[in-house]
């Protein structure tokens, strides 16, 4: 999660298209989720001193690599950052490997995906974002759009070589946002629009795409209605569910159940495929990961997992809480990685855990 200029409840945004499945949420609450407590078993810790950088960002874990970006404060603003470099920390020996340097450029890399000589990145400058595709020395601009807030800057979700993101373009005259779910082939740079819609501007300006295995989820406001959208990447099918609360982050989907937060209240709901409320949670799942084995949420004290009707509270064992920013979490099945940073000391820690029984 990036460092916004303002603080709001996290939420997600996007579109819907004709011919999709629509259902309405029931007002009936069914409290069926089982709760249990277990331990996170500490395995090892990786540390890195990021030198003269003023900040760092954690992007994702893949193939024993934790992808990050190192940043510096803009000389013209104490709240704006430029990117020094992008690269990864090896989860084998803790070494840092630079992918690309931007020290001589006033450029902010918001998110990126890298593979061999290819870099797909979203950048932000002066109220506009760009999505660029670099293959060796060749650079292609995929899109450039004007936006109203930083939550509309694309964050990438990956399935194999397919990269997904939400595209936004503000239309101030009509007081709305053109919204599209796009897919880019990382090998070729070819992009494709999967869904698009002209959505209302959200009262709480948070726009987030989440992924649960092959389900990509988000929410929109349209004609006064709150809509959960679920794109099944395997079937290339969009399902829509109308709900009676403002949709925040839709963090979990298996096609037959959903977890989504209320954008204006500190609670989240578990919904079935018909939109009926099965349970209510008192936390927002606002820092989450889902790469198999359920959806995970982390805070300063523990990790919470929801999977197959069971909500498990995992207590840290042996590992220590550290850093001055909210931890970030990533998982690959039963392996859990927690990222901490201390900007004053220029330190990064990545702790590896496994789920205890």
Start-to-end Cα distance in the chain: 30
Distances (CA, A) of 241 to 193, 227, 229, 323: 21, 6, 7, 39
Distances (CA, A) of 217 to 38, 164, 307, 309: 28, 11, 17, 19
Give pLDDT tens digits for 182-228. 999 999 999 999 999 887 777 766 678 999 889 999 998 888 889 99
Give pLDDT tens digits for 162-183. 999 999 887 777 778 888 999 9
Comparing CA positions, the residue from 171, 80, 175 lying closest to residue 123 is 80
Give pLDDT tens digits for 247-293. 888 988 988 899 988 888 878 899 998 888 888 887 656 667 776 77
175 CB burial (10 A radius; 0-12, 13-18, 19+): exposed
Query: What 3-state class would DSSP assign to 136?
Result: coil
CATH architecture of the domain formed by 21-355? 7 Propeller (2.130)
The alpha carbon of residue 175 and the mean position of all alpha carbons in its chain are separated, in whole angstroms, by 26
Q: Taking the domains of the chain in order of start, what are their residue ranges? A: 21-355
- The predicted model scores a pTM of 0.85
């Amino acid at each position: 999660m990036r460092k916004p200029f303002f603080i709001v409840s996290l939420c997600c945004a996007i579109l819907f298209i004709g011919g999709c499945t629509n259902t309405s949420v029931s007002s009936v609450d069914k409290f069926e989720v089982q709760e249990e407590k277990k331990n996170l078993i500490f395995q090892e810790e990786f540390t890195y001193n990021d030198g003269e950088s003023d900040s760092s960002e954690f992007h994702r874990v893949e193939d024993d690599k934790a992808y990050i970006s190192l940043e510096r404060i803009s000389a013209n603003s104490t709240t704006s950052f430029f990117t020094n470099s992008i690269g990864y920390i090896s989860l084998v020996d803790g070494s840092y490997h630079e992918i690309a340097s931007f020290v001589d450029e006033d450029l902010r890399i918001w998110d990126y995906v890298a593979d061999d000589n290819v870099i797909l990145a979203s950048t932000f400058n002066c109220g506009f974002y760009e999505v660029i595709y670099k293959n060796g020395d060749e650079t292609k601009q995929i899109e450039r759009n004007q936006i109203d807030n930083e939550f509309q800057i694309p964050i990438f979700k990956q399935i194999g070589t397919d990269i997904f993101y939400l595209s936004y373009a503000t239309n101030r005259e009509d007081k709305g946002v053109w919204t599209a779910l796009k897919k880019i082939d990382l090998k070729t740079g070819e992009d494709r629009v999967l869904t698009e819609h002209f959505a209302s501007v959200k009262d709480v300006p948070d726009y987030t795409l989440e992924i649960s295995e092959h389900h990509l989820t988000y929410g929109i406001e349209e004609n006064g209605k709150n809509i959960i959208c679920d794109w099944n990447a395997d079937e290339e099918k969009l399902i829509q569910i109308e709900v009676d609360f403002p949709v925040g982050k839709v963090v979990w989907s298996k096609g037959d159940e959903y977890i989504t937060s209320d954008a204006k209240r500190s609670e989240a709901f578990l919904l079935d495929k018909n939109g009926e409320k099965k349970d209510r949670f008192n936390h927002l799942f606002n820092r989450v990961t889902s790469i198999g084995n359920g959806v995970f949420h982390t805070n300063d004290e523990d990790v919470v997992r929801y999977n197959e009707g069971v909500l498990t509270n995992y207590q840290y064992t042996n590992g220590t809480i550290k850093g001055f920013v909210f931890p970030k979490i990533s998982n690959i099945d039963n392996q859990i990685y927690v990222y901490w940073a201390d900007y004053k000391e220029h330190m990064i820690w990545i702790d590896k855990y496994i789920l205890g029984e």
